[in-house]
Amino acid sequence: MVSAPHEAMHRIFQECPGLFSRLSDVLGLELPPLTSAEPLTVDLTETEPLERRVDTLLRIETRNDGPFLLIVEAQGKKDPGKTASWPYYVTYLNNKYRLPVLLLVICQDHATAAWAARPLTIGLPQWPTVTTRPLVAGPHNMPVITNVAEARKDLALATLSAITHADNPDVDAILKTMSVALRDTPESIAEPFVELIAQGLGNRPAAQQWRNLVAVDLSFYTSPLSEEIRDEGRAQGREQGRAQGRAESVLLILGARGIDVSDATRDKVTACYDPELLRRWLVRAAFVTGSEEIFGEETVADR
């Protein structure tokens, strides 16, 4: 199953095809000035019943050296199958479009990045016939951006940096920088970056930190993530309201029956938000002779 971080790592190039040109320093690659970039179909299926798809495929135009194709692959872990599929992608696309092909692999951990960067050879050890050399961007070479001005200068690069550094110990500072940088950005521009960062963090602990930042710093946005957070907040508020009402009912019944309610009992009841537990206490409140007895393990049927 394709994970959310996997989608975020390559989809950002669909949202911002020109992002590749800003990775030149990171990748150690000299490129001519790029003039345009457009997404192409990712389907590499042939007439045989064998389906092959790259994650993202772009046709990029340059000012002086003509166009080339850029394959972007998101790689979350080592996969021996890529030893065969990546060279296939490169040679197939070169043959189909008759254009130079670059393969860029985006990773979120050092071990996968080191594995992905190895040249892939086809042929004999003493004479490789085809060699595929992926470019790799990951936590080993992507900048850690914790300066708001730097993030605002290139939001796409800063977003990719946040995604690739999802496991960085300083990820909280990185995410806070992004939330501040996006705060004054028009919603139509900021929305895809908000969602891509959420996807890129997956189920890591930092994902909740990003949700909190979106809820506070970017609370005025109407992106799917912000709407989801608002819905959760409203649902939580309703649950807390129901729990509070049930807690008040427990105390009212005890008081109406003339039972003295200790401070410890009152504090425990009002601090509880478990609806099932409050329901049991509410039933017991109609029968007990002392307020602390509502916390007993016996049921009403046992009395």
Confidence of residue 13 (pLDDT cuts 50, 70, 90): confident
As a whole number, the mean pLDDT across the chain is 84
Confidence of residue 239 (pLDDT cuts 50, 70, 90): low
Beta-bridge mates of residue 74: 106
What is the 8-class DSSP label of residue 293? G
Q: Is the pTM of this model over 0.75?
A: no
Any alpha helices (H) in the chain, and if so which ranges?
Answer: 4-15, 24-27, 82-97, 110-116, 148-153, 155-164, 171-183, 187-201, 205-217, 224-256, 263-270, 275-284
- Token representation of residue 296: 């007993």
Confidence of residue 232 (pLDDT cuts 50, 70, 90): low
What integer is the mean pLDDT of 16-27? 84
